Amino acid sequence: MKTYLLVLIILCALSYLYLRLAVKYKIIDKPNKRSSHKKITVRGGGILFPIAIILFFLFNNFQYPYFFTGVIAISIISFLDDIYTLSSKIRFPFQMIAIFLILYQVGVPFEPFYVFVFYLIFGVGIVNMFNFMDGINGITGLYSISVLLGFYLINCNEGLINSNLIIYSLIALLIFGFYNFRKKALFFAGDIGSIAIGMLIFFLGMYFTFYLSSPLILLLVIVYGADSGNTLIYRKFFTKESVLEPHRHHIYQKLVDNKCMSHLQVSAVYAMIQIVINVLIFKTYRLELQTQFIIFISLILAFILLYIYLFIKLKRKKISNG
């Protein structure tokens, strides 16, 4: 408990220090026509997430060194991207290396090679999913808390990893929330925050899936996955837009723009839906594999249909509003 209090104090102090330094050195996000915010806001507040992982590494006998190395490497690149806006040609190789280190840490075998390559690409997709979904106040913090609580609940049963990794990260998310869970946020997570938390969740997801042999673990990010995956398909095959360009096609963006819901309302809805799914996963992840696959496919199809329904309804509302 004393260590948790120390972590809390360190992260509180560093969050305040970062806010002051970011204002001084103008590490800021300027709104544009695709932004959900209307005023200049400090970015990079998610630096607290890799710092929490550093504290875990130092206070817990340097556990998970390859995971730690990958997260720190990609966090440095992501923070530079927050400041200078780096090309994807620079970011992508570092993301691949970081994901490789996570897979090595988990113990994923290199053979068959094509399966390992699939995991590499899948990992990059998960990490960037968290980056793309970081578009409104509260969503990264609230949703990440809901996902980590799901992992923590299962870990209480299984004891697969050192739970301090999850707890330190939850502390960082709560402190981040103090600055971000507002109508007018004091700072955003930035690429460093969304990428770092995406790396953490990918590590936990791979670790739990690999050692529990349960496909249901993947559903711990189904709400983000449904929004991101369906939006990607829509942009790729219907709008013909570059998937790397900023846009406002995500359901969470349309709920803000067309339904006039507040940022925090939308963020809370996403988090609450995921928590409900987490409870279902916790009750079923030890069932026989065939039953798990039935649940898995059923939920995937349900979320696809829900996305299509919401997308059509919100698009019609936008048209009717002129």
Helix/strand/coil for 161 = coil
Please say whether the beta carbons of 129 and 135 come within 8 A: no
Cis peptide before 50 (omega within 30 of 0): no
Residues 207, 209: Cα–Cα separation, whole Å: 6
Q: Are 79 and 191 in contact (CB under 8 A)?
A: yes
Only one residue has tokens 């090309």, namely: 87
Residue 187: strand pairing partners = 42
Q: How far apart are CA 49 and CA 192, in angstroms?
A: 8
**129 Cβ neighbours under 8 A, 6+ residues apart:** 198, 221, 224, 225, 228
Contacts of 191 (CB under 8 A, 6+ apart): 44, 78, 79, 81, 82, 131
Handedness of CA 193, 195, 198, 202 (dihedral sign): negative
Q: What are phi and psi of 28, to 5 degrees?
A: -130, 160
Q: How far apart are CA 231 and CA 255, in angstroms?
A: 14
Best CA proximity match to 280, nearest among 150, 142, 144:
150
Residue 268 structure tokens: 């809370």
Question: Annotation-wise, does 131 bind a ligand?
Answer: yes
Q: What DSSP assignment string belongs to 185-204?
A: -SB--HHHHHHHHHHHHHHH
Q: How far apart are CA 50 and CA 198, in angstroms?
A: 11
137 labeled part of a ligand binding site: no
Residues of each annotated binding site for Mg(2+): 131, 191
Residues of each annotated binding site: 131, 191
